[in-house]
Amino acid sequence: MAQFEELQTLWQTQPSAATPPFDPTALSGAFRRFGRRQDMINLAKSVLVVWTVVQCYIAFHGRPMMAIACGGLLLFAVVALIAEWRIQRGIARLNFTAPSIDFVRAAIARLHSQRNPYHTPAYLVLFAAIFAGYNLMTYAAWPRWSVERRILMHILASVSPAIFYAFGRWIRAKRWNAEYRPLVERLSVLLETLEDRAL
C-alpha cells in the first residue's frame, strides 16, 4: 500500500509537459506557399483554356453550332475555375496571428471541403454543360456519320460527365493528399494545443 501511495505522489508531483509555443509565422508561410502553388496551377489551367478557345475558333468559326457548343463548354469551365480559385485564395489568406479553437476547426473544415468540390453549383453547371455541349457537337456532326456511329457518339456524349467526374475525383484525391493533407495535419496539432490550453 505504501508503495502505491509513493507512486501516486510521484505521479501527482511530476512536472506537467510544457505546451510547445505556437509559431504563427511558420503556419502562415505554409499557407502562403499553398496559395502560390494553387495560383500557378490555376494560371496553367487558364492558359490551357485560352489555347482551347483559339483552337476552337480556328476549327469551328465556319460551323456555328459547333462553335456555340464549344464556347459554352469553355465558358462554364472558366466559371468553375474562377469559383475554385477564389476558394483556394481565401484558404491561403487565413490569418493565424491569433487563432481560436473555432477558427482552426473552421479552417480544417474548409480544407476538407476541397477533397470533393464537384458537388458545388459551379461544377454541377459545368457537368450539365459538358452533357449538353457534347451532345450538341454530336448532333452538328450527324450529316457525316452513319446511324450506328450517331447512336454510339450520343451514348459517349451522355456518359462523358460521369467519366470527367470520376477522373476529376481521382486527380483531386492525389492533389488533396499532396497539397491539403499536410496543412490539415499542422492545423490538427495546433487545435490539440489550443484545446490543451483551454483546459
Taking Cα atoms as reference points, which of 178, 167, 187, 37 lies closest to residue 110? 187
What Å distances lie between residue 51 and 43, 73, 123, 190, CA to CA? 12, 14, 21, 43
pLDDT at position 15, please?
Answer: 46
Neighbours of 177 (CB within 10 A): 11
- Residue 94 scores a pLDDT above 50: yes
d(CA 125, CA 93): 27
The sign of the CA dihedral 164, 170, 173, 176 is negative
104-154 pLDDT, tens digit per residue, is 999 999 999 999 888 888 888 888 888 888 888 888 777 777 888 888 888
- What is the distance, to the nearest Å, from the Cα of residue 65 to the centroid of all Cα atoms in its chain? 32
- Rounded Cα distance between 199 and 182, Å, is 26
The span from the CA of 60 to the CA of 58, in Å, is 6
What's the whole-number mean pLDDT along residues 149-177? 88
Q: Are 193 and 20 within 8 A, CB to CB?
A: yes
Q: Is the pLDDT of residue 7 over 50?
A: no
pLDDT tier at 61, thresholds 50, 70, 90: confident
Q: Which of 157, 41, 56, 161 is CA-nearest to residue 89?
A: 41
Angle of CA points 56, 80, 82, to nearest 5°:
100
Question: Where exactly are the structural domains of the chain?
Answer: 23-198
What is d(CA 95, CA 90) in angstroms, rounded to the nearest whole number? 10
Residue 9: its pLDDT value, please?
54
- Name the pLDDT band for 81 (thresholds 50, 70, 90): very high
Please report the pLDDT score of residue 43 as a whole number: 94
Q: What is the DSSP letter of 77?
A: H
